[in-house]
Amino acid sequence: MEQLELIKIQSSIVELFLRIKQTIDVCEAEIYFQSLEKLQFKLAEEIFSNGLEVKAFLREFVYNFDRIDDEELKLILYDKIKSNTLNFDNNFE
């Protein structure tokens, strides 16, 4: 995976977080969580199977979204995204 692709993935994640912040509830955000799940799976596979090294933002994303299929965790993540307590912006390296 090339550096440019990683930058695009990171930008997509940030955009999805912004879209989630604009939703009314977690049900409305479901489509964005599905997109985040796909990105997380792709990154995790590259990191753990192929030894891809990534910057802190993407490492934290993969770690925090590992169990995004768990509805309870999804609600917790939703609340953190909405309240800006799950914010990787300061790790944009």
Give yes or no for residue 12 having a pLDDT over 70. yes
Is residue 86 a contact partner of residue 20, using CB atoms and an 8 Å limit?
no
CA distance 4 to 67: 26
**Cα distances (angstroms) measured from residue 24 to each of 3, 19, 29, 81:** 34, 11, 8, 12
CA distance 28 to 89: 23
CA distance 16 to 27: 15
Task: Supply the mean pLDDT for the chain.
Answer: 90
- Note the pLDDT of residue 89: 55
List the domain boundaries for the chain. Answer: 3-86
- Note the pLDDT of residue 28: 98
Q: CB-based contacts of 86: which residues, under 8 Å, 6+ apart?
A: 64, 77, 80
Give yes or no for residue 88 having a pLDDT over 70. no
Give yes or no for residue 84 having a pLDDT over 90. no
- Looking up tokens 């609600």, which residue turns up? 75
pTM to 2 decimals?
0.87
**pLDDT of 17-64, one tens digit each?**
999 999 999 999 999 999 999 999 999 999 999 888 999 999 999 999
